[in-house]
Structure 1
Amino acid sequence: MEKYRRFADQFTGINPFLPVFLNKKKKASEIILKLLLGPILVLIRLPLILIFALLLVLYHSIFIHLLVVNSFKRVVTLFNHLVCLRVILFLMGFYKFKTSFKILSKEGSNKSPPPKMNSGFIVLANHTSPVDYIYMTYLMSPIFSKQYISTKDSSQTKVLLSPLSFFQTIKAAFSLDYSIPVQGDDTELAKHHDQKLKVISLIQSSFDEHKGPLCVFFEGAKTNGYGFLQAEESLIQDIAEVQEKYRREVVVFNLKYTDKSHFSPINTTRNPFLHFILLLTNFSNELKVSAKGIPFQDTTQTGPLDIKQYKESIYSFYESSGIKKMQVTWREYQKFLDYWQNSQSKQYIEEIKKRE
C-alpha cells in the first residue's frame, strides 16, 4: 500500500512490517468454514490450553522455589516445559514440526536431531510470531532477553540485554515488542531497568546458575518473514567475543510459518490476544524450523572470524532460505507501529474519505 511505502526497504522494495494478509482476499468458503468450525475449536482448545498454562504458572510461582540445586532445577524445568508446552502447541494446531538442523558436534560431525543446548550457548533467531517464544521454550527453555539500545551516538550504538523472567516472557510474547531506545550512554542505559547486562555477563550467569542457553531475537523487532532486519553491530561484536572466549558455537535458528492468510501465526500489527484467538480457529498450523551452528573460528584459518565474516555467516543462512536482507531497522518498526495505529483509527479514515 502506498501510504506505507516510506517504511519499505529502499533496495528490495519490501516492507517487512506489513501484515502478511494485507493484500489477500478472503475466500467465501474459508469464511463459512471459519464461522462454522472456528468457535467450536476455540471452545474446545482454549480451556485445555488455560489448564496447562496454569500448571506452568504454578510451577514458576511456587514449586521452582522449592528446588535448591540449580542443576536439578534445570532438569525439572526442562521436563515441565517439554510436556506442558508441547501439549499447548498441539492444541494450537502445531501437530508436528518440519526441522532441519546442522549443528556441529565436538567431533565435527553434523547432528540431525534437535540440538540439546545447555547453559552457555547463544541462540540467535528471527522473530515473526508469539509462537516463537513458545516453541523455543519448549525446545530448550532458554533465557530470553530484551534489547536496550543507546541512541546518543549512532556511530557508536551500544546494546545491553535485560534477561526476562518467565512472566516477563509471557508479557513479551503477547505484545508487539521491539527494542527499547535509550537516549544516552551505558550509564543512562543502566538506569532504565533493574538488570541490564552485557552478553558476557548473561552467559557467565547462565554457566554459574544452570539457567540454559541465551536466546536473542537479534532483529530487535517482529517482521512478516519476507525479509530479516540486521542486528546492531555492537551486539554481534559482543556475541563474537563471548563465543571466542567460551569456545561454543552460536546457533542460528530460522522459524518459518507457511500460512500467509488472515489467520496466520505471523503477527506484526494485530492485537496479540485477538491474534491468539484467531490462531486457534485454524485446524492445523505449520512451523518449519532450521538451525545452523556458526563456528567460533574460520575453518580455513587459525584465528577467529572477523566481524564482517561473522555477520555474513549469520545472514547468509537466512538468505539461503529465500529471506532477503533488509536495510531498515527496528527503529522503522517502532515508527511504523505508531503510524499504523493512527492510520487505522476512525478519525484518520474519515479524513481520508473527505479528501477523496
Structure 2
Amino acid sequence: MEKYRSTADPSTGIHPFIPPTFHPFRPLLRPILTLLRLPFFIILFPPFLLLNSFLFLLPSLLSYPLRRILDKLFIPYILLSLSVIPTYPTIEQPRVRGAVRGKHPSRSDILLANSTSPIDILLLSFAYSPTFAVPSDTPSHVHPLTLSQALLQTCTTPSIPKSPPQTLKQLLRRNGPISILAEGCSTNGKGVLRFRFTPNPQSIPDNSVLYAAGISYTPRGAGCRTIQSMSSALLHAMGEWRISARIRLTAVPQDGAEHQACVATLAGVPPLKIDLESGRRFAQHWKDTASCKS
C-alpha cells in the first residue's frame, strides 16, 4: 500500500485503484461456484455479444428496439451466471425543478455513472440499453463505445478510444439514451473520481433530462478488477456466493457543479479529489511491480 501512496486520494486516504481483498475462506468455495456457472455463461455470453455488435451497426430506427429485445432476453440469465440478481434502478427524488418524480430515463436522456465493474454495463443495458461513452479530451465531446468496448473499458488500463469524438446532440440523434462513464476509468468501488466530463448546458438538447447514476455492490468490490482482464473480472464474479447490486438514479441540473458529489452520494461512497491521471499512474506502477516480480 505504501508504494501506491502517490495515487491515493489526499483528502480521504482512500486507494481507489487497489484490487479488493476477499474473505480467506472464499478460495475453498470459489472454484466450485465458478465451475457450476461457467458453462451457462459460455453458452449465453458469446452469442449475445456477437448479436449486439451486429445490431449496433444498424440504423438507429432498427438498432435500439432490437437491442432492447436482445438485452431483455439475454442479460438476466448472463447476470445470474455471474451470481448477480437482476435488478432495476431505483429513482430518487429529482434535484432539478420541473423533473417528473419517479420517471425512468427515455431515449432522449443522458446518464452520468460511476464505474467499478463490467457488471455495471450489463445492469444498465438490462435497464435501458444505452449507448455507452467515455469523456473526450475535446470539451463537451464523448467517445461512443460498443457494448464490447464498454465492458473492456471497465477493467483495462485507462486509454482513449479510437472512435471519433461526438457531441451529445450528435450521439442522441443516432443512438440515445447515452450512459457516460464520467470518471474515465474504473475504481474498486471505494470512492468516485473527479469527473472528466462536465456537460455544457448548450450541448444538451432541450428535451433531454440529465441523470446521475450511482452503482454499488454487496459485498463491496465484487467483480471489481481495475487492472486485470475482463475474463479475470467475470470469473471472479462467478466465484461469489451472491452479488447484490444497487443502482440509484436522480435527475440533476445540467450545470455540472455537483454531478460528482451526487453520483457519490447515490453510490454511498465519498467523492475523491483525484482523477483519471492517477489511475494511469497506478496502472504503470502496478505493471512495473509485476515486471519486477517476474
TM-score by length of 1: 0.72
Q: Is the 8 A contact 1:177 1:222 kept in 2?
A: no
- Distance, in Å, in 1 between the alignment partners of 2:271 and 2:50 is 41
Q: How far off is 1:290 after superposition?
A: 0.8
Alignment RMSD: 2.9
Instruction: Tell me the percent identity.
Output: 20
1:221 aligns with 2:213: no
From the superposition, tell whether residues 236 and 273 of structure 1 become closer, same or farther in structure 2 (CA, over 3 Å): same
- What is the match of residue 143 of structure 1? 131
Q: CA deviation at 1:86?
A: 1.1
Is contact 1:144–1:216 with CA below 8 Å preserved after alignment? yes
- Matched with 2:75 is 85
Alpha-carbon displacement from aligned partner over 1:10-40 (angstroms, at most 9, x marks no partner): 122212111221xx6x43x433333xxx23x
Letter in 2 for 1:163: P
Q: Which amino acid aligns with 2:184?
A: G
Is residue 257–residue 266 contact of structure 1 (8 Å, CA) maintained in 2? Answer: no
Q: Which residue of 1 aligns with 2:202?
A: 241
Partners of 1:8 and 1:288 lie apart in 2 by: 26
Task: Output one character per residue of 1:289-323: Cα deviation in whole Å (capped at 9) or x when no partner.
Answer: 11111145xxxxxxxxxx4xx32255235236542
Distance 2:163 2:191 in 1: 33
Counterpart of 2:258 in structure 1 is 312
> Structure 2, unaligned stretches of length 5 or more?
none
**Rounded Cα–Cα distance in structure 2 between residues aligned with 1:11 and 1:314:** 15
Task: Work out which of the two has the higher radius of gyration on C-alpha atoms and give 1 or 2.
Answer: 1
CA spacing shift, 1:61–1:94, aligned 2, 3 Å: closer
CA-CA distance at 1:348 after TM superposition: 4.9
2:278 and 2:119 mapped to 1: Cα distance?
Answer: 23
Q: Report if aligned partners of 2:118, 2:151 keep a CA contact under 8 Å in 1.
A: no
Q: Paired residue for 1:282?
A: 240
Partner of 1:201: 170
8 Å contact from structure 2 (residues 215, 246) kept in 1: yes
Cα offset, 1:339, TM superposition: 0.3
Amino acid at match of 1:214: I
| 1:340 pairs with one of 286, 290, 293 | 286
Q: For residues 31 and 54 of structure 1, what CA distance do their matches in structure 2 show?
A: 27
Deviation at 1:271, TM superposition (A): 3.2
Correspondent of 2:101 among 110, 118, 128: 110
Match in the other structure for 1:186: none
Call closer, same or farther: CA 1:62–1:325 in 2, change over 3 Å: closer
Pairing partner for 2:47 from 55, 64, 70: 55
Equivalent residues of 2:216, 2:268 under 8 A apart? no
**Which string of whole-angstrom CA distances, capped at 9 and with x for unpartnered residues, describes residues 235-273 of structure 1?**
3143x3233x42422111111012147xx2122123331
Answer yes or no: is the 8 Å Cα contact 1:98–1:287 preserved in 2.
no
Q: How does 1:36-185 map to 2 (within 5 A)?
A: 38-39=31-32, 41-60=33-52, 70-97=60-87, 99-102=89-92, 108-111=99-102, 115=104, 117-149=105-137, 158=139, 160-173=141-154, 175-180=155-160
Deviation of the 1:213 alpha carbon: 0.6
CA gap 1:91/1:172 in 2 versus in 1, 3 angstroms: same
Gaps of 5+ in 1: 151-157, 181-191, 297-306, 350-356
Give, in angstroms, the shift of residue 284 of structure 1. Answer: 1.2
**d(CA) in 1 for partners of 2:122, 2:39:** 18
Equivalent residues of 1:294, 1:314 under 8 A apart: no
2:223/2:236 contact within 8 Å kept: no
Residues 144 and 163 in structure 2, CA contact (< 8 A), matched pair in contact too? no
**Aligned-pair CA distance for 1:123:** 0.7
CA distance in 2, matches of 1:129, 1:166: 13
Structure 1 residues 159 and 313: alpha-carbon distance in aligned structure 2, compared to 1, 3 A threshold: closer
User: Residues 56 and 336 (structure 1 numbering): CA distance in 2 closer, same or farther, change over 3 Å?
Assistant: same
CA pair 168-223 structure 1, distance change in 2 beyond 3 A? closer
Query: Contact between 2:140 and 2:199, CA under 8 Å: does it hold in 1?
Result: no
CA distance in 2 between partners of 1:202 and 1:242 (Å): 11
CA distance in 2, matches of 1:108, 1:326: 28
Equivalent pair of 2:212/2:252 in contact (CA under 8 Å): yes
Alpha-carbon distance, 1:335 to partner: 0.8
- Give the number of aligned pairs: 293
Letter in 2 for 1:136: L
Q: Summarize the Cα distance change of 1:254–1:320 in structure 2 as closer, same or farther, 3 Å threshold.
A: closer
> AA paired with 2:73?
V
Match among 237, 249, 257 for residue 217 of structure 2 = 257
Residue 31 of structure 1 aligns with an amino acid whose one-letter code is P
Alpha-carbon contact 1:179-1:330 (below 8 Å) kept: no
Which range is displaced more, 313-322 or 74-83? 313-322
